Structure 1
Amino acid sequence: MVRNRCRKTTKGVDPDKLRQAAIEVKERNVSINLAAMALGIPRTTLQRYMKASIVLRRKTGKGKDWFENFRKRNGLAIRQPEATSLARQVASNRPVVSEFYSRLADVYSRCKFTPRDIYNMDESGFTTVQNPEKFVSSKEKKQVGGTVSQERGKLTTMACTVNAQGNALPPFYIFKKVRWNDAFLNGAPHGSTGTANKLAWMTVDIFSQGYLPFFIQQTKCSPEHPVLLILDNHCSHVSIEAVQLAKSSGVILLTIPPHTSHRLQLFDTTIFGLMKIYFNRSLDDFMRTYPGQSVPIYDIGRLTERSFAQGMTVANITSGFRCTGIYPLDANIFSDADYQPSDVTDRPVAEASEQNSLNDSQHSSMIPHLAKDEPQPSTSSGEVSLPVCTPQSASEVSMTYTPADLHPLPKAAPRTSKGKRRRAKTAILTDTPEK
C-alpha cells in the first residue's frame, strides 16, 4: 500500500458529504436511502463507507501506516536515547553548574583573556577494533559478518587541546607499551608527541611531566601573558607538581564539576563523536586495503591523523565553546528542561550546606540556650510584644498553579554516606588557597 498517495482526479464522492451523511444516519436515525438522496450520494457508496467506519472502530490497535502519518503530521521522530548514568543526572543541577560559570566569570574579569588564550583539554581512547559499518544484504541471510582487526584491540589515548579561536594544538599520545619508540608517531599530525605506559592511561606523572610542559611549549605562555586551561576533575590532573608548574608558567587551571562533562565538556558534545566516526572509517579502509592483516600499533598515528584533521575544524571547535557557554560566556545556556532529571534527587550543594551549618553553629554558640518551657524575660515593664501580621494585598497573592505544584514529581530518599570521602567540586586549582 502506498502511504503517501496523492489523488490525481476529482472523480468520486466528496469526503465531506460522506461524513455529513454518516452523521445524519448515526445521530438523527435517518435511513441510508434518505441521507443518500438528500446529499446526492450513491446509496451503495454510503453503505460501504458506513461499513468501513464500523470495522475501523472495532479494531483495537493502529497500523503502521497510521503511525507514520501521525508522526509526519506532528513533526515527530524516532530517536535512540543516549545512555546517561544516574550520577550525571544528579550532578547536572543548577547550583553546581552555576558555581562553575561564576568561577569562569571571575577568571575572565581578572585576566581579560582573548579567544586564543582560552583552552580546553580532554582525553579519549582509540582502539584498533572498529565497529563495521552498515551495508546492503539479502533478507534471506540471518547473519552478516564484518572483518575486524582483533578480538580485543590495543588502546591508545589521545589528549587533545583546542582554544576558543578555533585552533587545535597537536595531540599528545599515550601508547600501551613499556618503552617509547619514535616509530609510534609515524604519520601522526605534525608537532605531535607522546609517551608510553602499561595501561595507556593518563597518570599524575604523565600529566605533570609530559603533557603540561608540552602545553606550555606550544602556547608560549608566561606569568606576564597567562592562559586559561579548562579540564575535567580527574585525579591525574590534580597534583601539587602540576599546580606548581602551572602557577610558575602562567597557566590558570579551571576544573569542571564531576559528572558534568556531557554538558560542559565541549569535546564530548561536538568533537570526539565525529573523530570516532572518521577513525572507524579509516580502520575499515585499512582492513579492505590489507586483507588478512591486523592493525599494528605503529599505524595508529597515521590512522588518527585523518580523523584529527576532519574532526578538529574551526566550525566544530567554535560551536563546542558556544554550545557549552564557555565562550562567549553564557551562564543561562541550559534551560529548565536540561535540569529536570536532577529534580528527583534535588540535593543542595555540599559547600553551601557546610557553610550554613558552620554559620548556624557559630550563631547558636553566641546565643544562650533556653529551654522550651522556660519563659523569656520581657524587655519592658508590664508590656508584652506580640507579632504584628500585615495583610497582603490582592495583587501580592498569586493564584497561579502549575501541574508540578498540584502533583509534584516523586523525590528520592537522601543517600546515606558510607565513607568520609570528600566530595569534589569545580575549582580554580592555581588560586591560593583552594580547599
Structure 2
Amino acid sequence: MSPIDDAIDAIELREPGASFSYRDVAKRFGVDRSTLSRRHQGKSKSIAQEAQQRQLLNPQQEAEIVDYIERCTRSGLPPTRQMIKNFASAVAKWDVGEGWVTRFLHRQHDHLTPKWTRGIDRARHVADSKERYEQYFELLHSKMQQYEVAAENVYNMDEKGFMMGIIARSKRVFTRAIWEQKERTAAIQDGNREWVTILACICGDGSSLPPALIYEGKAGIQSSWVSELQAEIHEVFVANSTSGWTNNELGLAWLEQIFDRFTRDKARRRWRLLILDGHGSHVTSDFINFCGANKILLAVFPPHSTHSLQPLDVVMFAPLANAYSQQLQQHIQRGQGTMGPAKAEFFSIFWAAWSQTFRRELILKSFQATGVLPMNAEAVLKRFKNTTPQQVNGVKVGERGDGDSWRQLRKILDVAVVDKDKVEAKQVEQALHSLQVKNELLHHENESLHTALNTRTKRKLRSKALDLQRSDQQHSGSVFWSPYKIEEAREREVTKQQETEQLQLQKDTERELRAASLRYKKLMADEAKAERQRAKTERDEAKKARAAELSARRAAKQQQRNAATSQNSQDTHKTPRRTASRKPVEKKTRRRGVVVAESEAAAAPTAPPPPPKTTTRGRTIKLPQKFK
C-alpha cells in the first residue's frame, strides 16, 4: 500500500468527531498536503484508480471471473480464450475483443496460466474418480506386499501407434513478410499414413525391454524394412500384421518370446508383476493361462484410467512422440521436403527417438508419478483434494444481482451513496459487483446446461440386443460369452449400423434429388408462365397501339371527308342551277313472264275464285297485309 493510502486510512480510522489536520497527517506519512486533501475528499484519484476506472471490468468483477474459471477447471472444463471472452462480454454487456483477453490474462498472471492441452474423453473424465483409484491402489499394493514383488520385477507394458509421415504440432519461425502474405503458414510433412505399432515395456528398476515393432503388411517382413537393423547394436523385435496393430496371436507371442525370455532369469523363480490395460489382445485365455503357469501376476488398469495410472502413458509416450517428430522433421529437412519417410527409413528414425527417450531416470520418474514405486497412492490422489480458494479482500456474496453493467452500477452507487470513501460504501460497491458478475456467470452456465440437457435428451438411443450368432454345436441352454465374442458382436452391430446409415443417406440423397428436380421443374414452369404472360402483355400492348393508330387514321380520314363535303357544299351553293333542256325519257322496264305449255295448262286444276271483296251487307272487305 502506498503512503498516500496509508494516510487516508489513518484519517478514516480516527475517532468519530476527532479533529485532524491535513498538514500534520501529510507530514507524518511524507506526502503532499494538497494531494492528500484532494484524494481524501474524492476530488482526485490515483493513477491506478484512474486506470481501473477506464477498464471494462473492475478488479472485483475480474476476481469473480477468475474464481469461476477455477471452478470450471476443477470440474474438468478449463475454458478457452473464446469462452473467457464470452464470460466478460456477458458481464460487461459489451462485446470484448481478443486484446482484452490478452490483457486480462496478463493482469491475472498470478492466478491464470494458458497452456496447450489435449482433450480428455468423456468416459475417461467419468472414470477419473478418487474412489476408483483408491480401490485400485489398495488392491495393487496389497498384492505386491502379499507376493513380495520387488521393484526389479514390476513391469508396465503398452502399445503405441505411429503414422510414418505425420508430424506432431510444433512452433516454427516464419519471416513476417511471408507469414503476412499467407504464402506459407505451415511446414511440409510427407503425409504418409502407413501405421506401425510398438510394444513397449519398462521395469521398476529403470530398465526397459527391447521394443517390438509391428509393421502393416500382408506378405511377411520385407528386407527393406530391416535393412538398417544390425543385430550387434539394435536389440529389437519385428513382426507384421494386416492392420499394423497388435492382435491376440502377437500379444501372446510377445509374452512368450520377449517378456518371459528377458525377465525369467532376473526373477529367479520369484513372482513378477505385469501391469497393462484391458485391451483384447492382453487378456485372452491363452495369455492369462501362460501368466498363471509362469508366476506372472497380471494387474489390469480400471477402464479409461491409463491417462492417470499408467507409467508409459503419463510420462514416457509423450516425450517419445515428440522425439519421433523431431527426428522426422530433421529427415524431411535434409531432403528439403522432397523425400518423405518410407518403411525403409522408419526404423532409423524410431530408434533415434527411442534411445533418446527411454532412459533410466525418466523410467523411474514414470513409476513414481503414478504411485506404483515407491508405493504411494497420494501421488495420484492428491489432485482430488480440493482446497478452498482464498477469497480476495471484500464482501463475497453468492446471490443473484440485478444484472446491470459496471458503469450502470457505478451511476446508481454515485447517486445513492454520498460519502463513497467510507469502508461501508466500498463494501457495498464490492457486493454489488460480486452480485452482478455471479448473476451473469450463473445465467451463462444455466443456458449452457439447458442446451446440453436438450441435446442429450434428443440423442438418447434405445438399447439393442447384440447379434452373438450362437453356434449349433452349443447344446446347453445357457452360454457364457467371452469378451472376444462380445467384441465381435459389437463390431457386427457397428457394421450393420453403418450400412443402415449408408442406406438412409442414400435414400435422403435420392429424396433431395427428387425434391431438387421438382423445384427445378416448378422453376422452369414458372419461368415459362412468366414468359407467356410477358408475351401476352406485349401482344396486348401492340394490339392497343395498332387500334389507337387505326382509330387515329380513321379519324383523320373522316376529318378529310368532312372537310371535302363542306367544300363541295359551298361549291354547290355558289354554282347556279342549270335548266333542263328537255324532259327526261322514262326507260321502259322489261318484265319476264312465265310461259306455260298448252298441255300443262290443260292439265292444271282450275284455280279457286277470288274471295269476295264485299260482305253480304255491302261492306268492303279489307284483306290483311299478311294474306296479300
Please indicate, yes or no, whether the TM-score normalized by the shorter chain is above 0.5.
Answer: yes
Compute the displacement of 1:135 (Å): 2.3
Number of aligned residue pairs: give it. 332
Residue 60 of structure 1 aligns with which residue?
Answer: 56
- What is the identity, as a one-letter code, of the residue corresponding to 2:141? A
Q: Which residue of 1 aligns with 2:426?
A: none
Q: State whether residues 217 and 244 of structure 2, in contact with CA within 8 Å, keep that contact through their aligned partners in structure 1.
A: yes
* Aligned position for 2:201: 161
Q: Shift of residue 237 of structure 1?
A: 0.7
Written as runs of structure 1 = structure 2, the 5 A alignment for 1:209-228 is 209-220=253-264, 224-228=269-273
- For the Cα contact (< 8 Å) 1:132–1:284, is it kept in 2? no
Instruction: Name structure 1 gaps, 5 residues minimum.
Output: 1-13, 26-33, 341-409, 426-435
1:376 corresponds in structure 2 to: none
Find the aligned partners of 2:326 and 2:306 in 1 and give their Cα distance.
26
The answer for unaligned runs of 5 or more in structure 2 is: 13-20, 59-99, 387-448, 467-479, 484-628
Residues of 2 paired with 1:214 and 1:313: CA distance? 20
Could you say which residue in structure 1 is the equivalent of 2:344? 298
Once the two structures are superposed, residues 268-318 of structure 1 have per-residue CA deviations (whole angstroms, 9 ceiling, x without a partner) of 111000011111000010011123011011211111112111211111111
Aligned residues of 2:273 and 2:296 also touching (Cα < 8 A): yes
Which of the residues 205, 215, 222 maps onto 2:249?
A: 205
Partner of 1:315: 361
Report SS of the residue matched to 2:376. Answer: coil
One-letter code of the match for 1:263? S
Shift of 1:99: 3.1
SS at match of 1:242: helix
User: Greater CA radius of gyration, 1 or 2?
Assistant: 2
TM-score w.r.t. the length of structure 1 is: 0.65
Pairs within 5 Å for 1:248-259: 248-259=293-304
Counterpart code for 2:237: T
Give the AA of the match of 2:201. T
| 8 Å contact kept, 1:228–1:254 | yes
Q: How does 1:21-420 map to 2 (within 5 A)?
A: 39=26, 41=32, 50=45, 53=49, 56-61=52-57, 67-72=105-110, 76-128=112-164, 129-131=166-168, 133-140=170-177, 141-142=179-180, 143=182, 144-150=185-191, 152-178=192-218, 179-187=220-228, 190-220=234-264, 224-291=269-336, 292-335=338-381, 337-338=383-384, 418=463
Structure 1 residue 37 displacement after superposition: 10
* Separation of aligned partners in 2, 1:118 and 1:230: 8
Q: Tell me the amino acid that sits aligned with residue 154 of structure 1.
A: E
Question: Cα deviation per residue 1:346-382 (whole Å; 9 max; x = unaligned)?
Answer: xxxxxxxxxxxxxxxxxxxxxxxxxxxxxxxxxxxxx
TM score, norm. by length of structure 2: 0.47
Residues 156, 275 of structure 2: 8 Å contact kept: yes
Alignment of 1:2-21 (within 5 A): 15-17=2-4, 20=7
CA–CA separation in structure 2 for the residues paired with 1:55 and 1:322: 48
SS class of match (1:329): coil
Larger helix proportion of the pair: 2
Comparing both chains, which one has the higher relative contact order based on Cα–Cα distances under 8 Å and sequence gaps of 6 or more? 1
Give the superposition deviation at 1:234.
0.7
C-alpha displacement of 1:336: 5.9
Output one character per residue of 1:171-205: Cα deviation in whole Å (capped at 9) or x when no partner.
01111111213542444672211211121111111
Once residues 339 and 88 of structure 1 are traced to their aligned partners in structure 2, the CA distance between those partners, rounded to angstroms, is 19
